[in-house]
Amino acid sequence: MTRFEELLEGKVAGELSPDENQEFSALLVVAENRRAFATHQQTVALLAGVERYVPSSSFTEEVLARLPDRRSRPLRNVWDLLWATRVMRWNVATALALSLVLVVTALTWKALSGRTPVGSERHSIVTLFRFSLDAPGAQQVSLAGDFNGWRTDEILLADVTGRGHFAVTLSLKPGRYAYMFVVDGATWMTDPRAEAYRDDGFGNKNALVNVEVPTVADGDT
């Protein structure tokens, strides 16, 4: 932050000392600073003027209803048993042997997890994804894409309401997949609701779905 920005922030918060106020006033001779100050004040006023969103009157009761009961005595005993401090006797030889087991297991795991045969790269995590298409009058709608080897008779969408709204939910492993719908076994249709597309090279437009690897610590890489 520049000195002016620091003082501006302090001014907006009403936290400037008399000397700082003087310094700030001196900087306001610059027209751009005056403009910046005015618009910041406007923004602050706008924000301060908003209403807060109030929850429903049953909010507190609903929270209390979701709280667990006090842990019963038998479970409390198990809990204490798990967390009670213990004294363990050990020697260096046993410790070294255990360390060796752990290291070898970890190295083996790492080596094996890097090997993936051709045509069968797989993750064990899946995400549910719903595909739907409005096709009134259609007898059958199926889904074909990279995720099922483009088989047109494998994933059938269901028209639950009978009004031509076909849908299916798939569990997809992480990856990027191209797909299209097939109506009545013959007509290939691009998903109009997809937000990314790719030319298939054959004159059609594939829809794209991107399924990320769900991670807990999803920080930057």
With respect to other proteins, which residue has the nearer C-beta, 52 or 163?
52
Nearest to 11 by CA among 49, 22, 2, 1: 22
With respect to other proteins, which residue has the nearer C-beta, 19 or 121?
121
Site for other proteins in 13-32 (CB under 8 A): 13
Long-range (24+ apart) CB contacts under 8 A made by 27-36 are 27/3, 33/4, 33/8, 36/4, 36/8
Q: Which of 20, 132, 138, 197 binds other proteins (CB under 8 A)?
A: 197
**SS3 (DSSP) at 133:** strand
Site for other proteins in 33-52 (CB under 8 A): 39-40, 42-44, 46-52
Least separation, in Å, of the C-beta of 1 and other proteins?
6
Q: Which of 30, 97, 126, 158 binds other proteins (CB under 8 A)?
A: 97
Q: Which of 120, 124, 139, 161 binds other proteins (CB under 8 A)?
A: 120
With respect to other proteins, which residue has the nearer C-beta, 47 or 87?
47
- For position 151 contacting other proteins by CB under 8 A, the verdict is yes
Nearest to 181 by CA among 129, 147, 142: 142
Q: Which of 60, 77, 171, 187 binds other proteins (CB under 8 A)?
A: 60
Place of tokens 């090997």: 115
Task: Assess contact for 129 and 170: CB atoms under 8 A.
Answer: yes
Least separation, in Å, of the C-beta of 103 and other proteins?
8
Strand-pair partners of 143: 155, 181
Task: Assess contact for 184 and 156: CB atoms under 8 A.
Answer: no
Q: Which of 30, 78, 104, 126 binds other proteins (CB under 8 A)?
A: 104
Torsion of CA 18, 19, 24, 30, to 10 degrees: 130
Least separation, in Å, of the C-beta of 162 and other proteins?
26
156-195 mask for other proteins (x: CB under 8 A)? --------------------x-x---------x----xxx
Neighbours of 207 (CB within 10 A): 21
Using CB under 8 A, which of the segments 22-30, 82-90, 133-141, 196-204 binds other proteins? 196-204
Q: How far is Cα of residue 127 from the mean position of the Cα atoms in its chain?
A: 11
